[in-house]
Amino acid sequence: MSTPLLRVEGLRVAYGHVEAVQGIDFEVNAGEIRTLVGANGAGKSTTLLALSGLVRPTAGSIVFDGEELRRLPTHQIVERGLVQVAEGRAILTTLTVRENLELGAYRRRDRAGVADDLERVLALFPRLAERIDGMAGNLSGGEQQMLAIARALLAKPRILLLDEPSMGLAPIVVQEIFATLRRINAEGLTIFLVEQNVRQALKVASHGYVLETGRIVLSKPSAELLGDPQVVAAYLGG
């Protein structure tokens, strides 16, 4: 069996006296989409923040491609290929679409590669190409989510970390976003997805983890979770 690209063991994260993540284990293999699902407040976003070095775990291990990341600063984690699309998109609304995209590649020195990747993401998201020199603040919510994903792709991730990409979007836009995630995964990009939209997340992922109040309570292939009575009752309207 191959070694997972990302392995997390015993991860604990606390805010003061409140332990938001309570010793969780999970892994992501190269080329997969895996998802961490659960209700609001379960600790999903905190888990992603810990992976990116934006909050410091109190215990546990985060090993990416054989290297422990726990004590690395965020910019070095990004350089190694863990790139996060934040909840809420974090678009710089007073900059143009082009300028936002260029910021995704600010640490890269391969200018020809950046130009090729810019062309690629604009092909993935044609609406961004149409608005490339317009202000990012004038984009719709769905277009801003597309911009956030495209900006992250310009950082050349090895694992794309996505935090609630469907939040606040119309169902037809959610379908479009997830279709694009399937496409970039089919091209070889590994994705770790955090989502409250459990049904949509499990449809796109090969394996799911269910997080409840800081603990992983289920870990199964996504098809099994979609039929699990506990998941159906709690998240799928059963």
Torsion sign (Cα): 75, 86, 216, 55: positive
What's the rounded mean pLDDT across residues 136-153? 94
- CA-to-CA separations, 53 to 12, 79, 82, 83, in angstroms, rounded: 13, 12, 10, 11
Please provide the average confidence, as pLDDT, over all residues in the chain.
93
Give all strands (DSSP E) within 38-158, no chain letters.
59-64, 67-68, 82-85
Structure tokens at 197: 């939209």
Q: Identify whether residues 163 and 189 lie together within a single domain.
A: yes
> Which residue range(s) make up the domain with 9?
1-81+159-237
* Domain annotation covers residue 86: no
Which of 123, 156, 189 is a domain's end point? 156
Task: Characterize the bridge pairing of strands 33-37 and 190-195.
Answer: parallel
Q: In which band, very low, low, confident or very high, does the pLDDT at 25 lie, cut at 50, 70 and 90?
A: very high
Q: Identify whether residues 167 and 230 lie together within a single domain.
A: yes
What's the rounded mean pLDDT across residues 89-116? 90
* Domain annotation covers residue 199: yes
Which of 113, 140, 156 is a domain's end point? 156
- CA-to-CA separations, 66 to 5, 10, 63, in angstroms, rounded: 8, 17, 6
The model's pLDDT over 152-201, given as tens digits with 9 standing for 90+, comes to: 999 999 999 999 998 888 899 999 999 999 999 999 999 999 988 899 99
Q: In which band, very low, low, confident or very high, does the pLDDT at 1 lie, cut at 50, 70 and 90?
A: low
Q: In which band, very low, low, confident or very high, does the pLDDT at 48 lie, cut at 50, 70 and 90?
A: very high
* Domain annotation covers residue 72: yes
37 residue type, one letter: V
Q: In which band, very low, low, confident or very high, does the pLDDT at 238 lie, cut at 50, 70 and 90?
A: low
* Domain annotation covers residue 50: yes
Domain count for the chain, please give it. Answer: 2
Contact 35, 202 (CB under 8 A): yes
Residue of 78, 207, 91 lying closest to 149 (CA atoms): 91
Q: Identify whether residues 59 and 163 lie together within a single domain.
A: yes
Residue of 49, 110, 104, 53 lying closest to 77 (CA atoms): 53
% of the chain beyond a pLDDT of 90: 82
pLDDT at 90: 85
Q: How far is the C-alpha of 141 from the C-alpha of 16, rounded, in Å?
A: 34
What's the rounded mean pLDDT across residues 233-238? 76
For 175, other C-beta atoms within 10 Å of its C-beta total 13
pLDDT at 84: 95
